[in-house]
């Protein structure tokens, strides 16, 4: 019995412990339930508070100050749309909906930009009204009906943004601009060099250069082109005070575009690519993409280099001139009347030769001859040939002028195994006139270098004639002028 009692007592003790655990679990569950209920109530209270607050959206304020009545309705409409969006989504925005918050911020930025645009346009309208009011609207554009264009466009904007088929204000402003810059009559900038090239291309600065027997053909005089290029170059140069004397040429200096090997670039870039000489390496051109070098052409830069700037002006002046004269070459002029260009040249050459003949004749009459190489010549009239070493010819020894030289050259020729009997290989050195006024050539024996004179016609050839200098050719073509006689020239006895 004793043992049974002990077993029972142990069983009871164990059961009691289990009951205690169950009670503790129930109490813990009850506590947690109570906590959850409190949390739910707190969340509900918070949501209730959020709804109360979220019903009123956090809105930006937009003023109508400075906005012309023309834009007030559209601006208020945009503000109203923004407010409706914010109020309708207030609770979600308050709860942290990122997408809706971003949309609200985007609409606020758009409204700020729209406000600034309308304020700017309103200011332009006020300025335009002020010009008109003060009788300074002469530079403003006019509509076809004669009223100022900005006034006309404002009226049109009011019409097209109202009614069943209304368009947006932004569309209306594109169709009917009213900003101040669009309303001013702008004088189109004209390249100042164009007038120079056109003037050079006028008939006054052209001369007849040829004809085809029916029409004359003219060209701009080369000196005129050179003068114009020099004037352009000088105007492109920065003066000693660091600025251009003519703002039109400053614009060309800064913004002129050139096409180099099919690529369009600024003239400054083209200069460094084609013409700039590196002072250290003496390399010409080949430089691209160097902002530091470009600064040497900017008078306002600390790196400005006057010498480089002048070199750029020379380069640009030449490029502009090449462009300017590109389509101003030879042109057909008026109907040809009179001699052809070839006839004219022949006539002028003949006239020049005749005058030369007279001048030479008068000169040699008053000039004494001197003996050279055993022959009497007018040494002062001597003209050498160009590339005389190529002017080789064979002459007869018997044609040599002056016995002394003839004997000397004959001896030299006899010792020359390349010369045939009675002949000599010589080089024609030049021409002069002898005592009888006849053209003679000075020659040198190839081997012995003995020199002598022979009549020009003994060595004459086209090759040797062409080798003569111009004055030598005139001397070769010299003919004594015919002297007219009168009765007084004859002896009556």
Q: What is the pLDDT of residues 256-298, one digit of tens each?
A: 999 988 889 999 999 998 988 888 777 787 776 567 788 899 9
| 433 burial level (CB within 10 Å; 0-12, 13-18, 19+) | buried
| Beta bridge partner(s), residue 443 | 428, 452
Same domain, residue pair 313 and 425: no
Instruction: Identify the band that residue 14 occupies on the pLDDT scale cut at 50, 70 and 90.
Output: low
* Residue listed under structure tokens 């070098």: 293
Q: Which of 78-92, 130-144, 351-365, 476-490 shows the lowest mean pLDDT across its residues? A: 476-490
Distances (CA, A) of 392 to 418, 443, 445, 451: 13, 9, 10, 13
Same domain, residue pair 380 and 435: yes
Tell me which of 265, 290, 324 is where a domain ends.
324
pLDDT at 406: 59
What distance in Å separates the CA atoms of residue 73 and residue 167, rounded to the nearest whole number?
14
CA 142 to chain centre: 36
User: Per the domain annotation, does 376 fall within a domain?
Assistant: yes
Q: Which of 63-67, 101-105, 187-191 shows the lowest mean pLDDT across its residues? A: 187-191
Same domain, residue pair 315 and 368: no
Same domain, residue pair 385 and 442: yes
Q: Which of 279-293, 373-387, 414-428 shows the lowest mean pLDDT across its residues? A: 414-428
User: Per the domain annotation, does 309 fall within a domain?
Assistant: yes
Nearest to 475 by CA among 435, 441, 426: 441
Same domain, residue pair 320 and 201: yes
User: Per the domain annotation, does 170 fall within a domain?
Assistant: no
Same domain, residue pair 371 and 295: no
pLDDT at 160: 94
Instruction: Identify the band that residue 125 occupies on the pLDDT scale cut at 50, 70 and 90.
Output: very high
Same domain, residue pair 226 and 309: yes
215: pLDDT strictly greater than 80: yes
Same domain, residue pair 405 and 448: yes
User: Per the domain annotation, does 357 fall within a domain?
Assistant: yes
User: Per the domain annotation, does 274 fall within a domain?
Assistant: yes
Mean pLDDT, the chain, whole residue set:
82
User: Per the domain annotation, does 79 fall within a domain?
Assistant: no
492: pLDDT strictly greater than 50: no
Q: Which of 86-90, 113-117, 222-226, 387-391 shows the lowest mean pLDDT across its residues? A: 387-391
Same domain, residue pair 301 and 408: no
346: pLDDT strictly greater than 60: yes
Q: Which of 120-134, 342-356, 423-437, 467-481 has the highest mean pLDDT?
A: 120-134
Q: Judge whether 358 and 352 are in contact, CB under 8 Å.
A: no
User: Per the domain annotation, does 23 fall within a domain?
Assistant: yes
pLDDT at 157: 95
Mean pLDDT of 399-408: 71
Same domain, residue pair 307 and 406: no
Q: Which of 22-36, 345-359, 453-467 shows the lowest mean pLDDT across its residues? A: 22-36
101: pLDDT strictly greater than 70: yes
* Domain count across the chain: 3
* Kind and range of the H or E run holding 264: strand 263-266
* SS3 assignment, position 13: helix
User: Per the domain annotation, does 144 fall within a domain?
Assistant: no
Same domain, residue pair 199 and 300: yes
Could you tell me the residue range of the domain that residue 282 belongs to?
195-324
Same domain, residue pair 365 and 261: no
487: pLDDT strictly greater than 50: no
pLDDT at 415: 60
Higher-scoring residue by pLDDT: 99, 417:
99
Q: Judge whether 312 and 270 are in contact, CB under 8 Å.
A: no
pLDDT at 307: 93
């Amino acid at each position: 019995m004793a043992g049974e009692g002990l077993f029972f007592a142990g069983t009871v003790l164990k059961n009691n412990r289990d009951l205690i655990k169950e009670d503790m679990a129930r109490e813990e569950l009850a506590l947690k339930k109570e906590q959850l209920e409190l949390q739910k109530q707190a969340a509900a209270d918070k949501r209730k508070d959020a709804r109360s607050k979220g019903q009123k959206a956090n809105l930006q304020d937009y003023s109508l100050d400075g906005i012309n009545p023309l834009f007030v309705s559209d601006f208020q409409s945009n503000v109203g749309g923004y407010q409706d969006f914010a109020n309708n989504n207030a609770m979600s925005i308050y709860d942290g909906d990122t997408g809706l918050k971003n949309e609200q911020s985007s609409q606020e930025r758009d409204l700020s930009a729209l406000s600034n645009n309308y304020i700017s346009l309103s200011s332009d309208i006020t300025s335009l009204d002020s010009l008109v009011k003060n009788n300074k609207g002469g530079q403003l554009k006019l509509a076809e009906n004669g009223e100022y264009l900005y006034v006309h466009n404002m009226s049109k904007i009011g019409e097209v943004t109202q009614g069943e088929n209304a368009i947006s204000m932004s569309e209306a402003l594109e169709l009917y601009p009213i900003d101040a810059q669009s309303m001013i009559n702008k004088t189109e900038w004209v390249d100042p060099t164009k007038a120079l090239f056109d003037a050079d291309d006028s008939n006054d600065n052209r001369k007849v250069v040829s004809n085809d027997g029916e029409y004359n053909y003219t060209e701009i005089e080369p000196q005129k082109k050179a003068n114009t290029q020099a004037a352009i170059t000088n105007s492109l140069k920065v003066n000693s005070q660091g600025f251009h004397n003519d703002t039109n040429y400053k614009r060309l200096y800064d913004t002129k575009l050139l096409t180099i090997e099919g690529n369009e670039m600024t003239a400054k870039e083209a200069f460094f690519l084609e013409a700039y000489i590196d002072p250290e390496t003496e390399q010409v051109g080949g430089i691209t993409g160097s902002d530091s070098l470009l600064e040497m052409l900017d008078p306002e830069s600390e790196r400005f280099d006057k010498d480089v700037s002048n070199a750029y002006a020379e380069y640009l002046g030449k490029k502009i001139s090449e462009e300017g004269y590109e389509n101003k070459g030879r042109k057909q002029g008026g109907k040809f009347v009179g001699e052809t260009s070839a006839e004219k040249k022949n006539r002028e050459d003949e006239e020049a030769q005749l005058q030369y003949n007279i001048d030479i004749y008068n000169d040699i009459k008053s000039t004494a001859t001197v003996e050279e190489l055993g022959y009497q010549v007018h040494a002062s009239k001597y003209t050498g040939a160009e590339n005389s070493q190529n002017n080789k010819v064979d002459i007869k020894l018997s044609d040599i002028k002056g016995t002394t030289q003839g004997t000397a050259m004959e001896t030299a020729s006899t010792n020359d195994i390349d010369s045939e009997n009675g002949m000599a290989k010589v080089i024609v050195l030049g021409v002069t006139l002898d005592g009888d006024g006849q053209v003679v050539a000075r020659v040198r024996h190839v081997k012995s270098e003995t020199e002598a004179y022979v009549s020009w016609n003994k060595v004459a050839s086209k090759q040797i004639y062409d080798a003569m200098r111009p004055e030598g050719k005139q001397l070769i073509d010299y003919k004594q002028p015919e002297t007219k006689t009168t009765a007084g020239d004859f002896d009556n006895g």
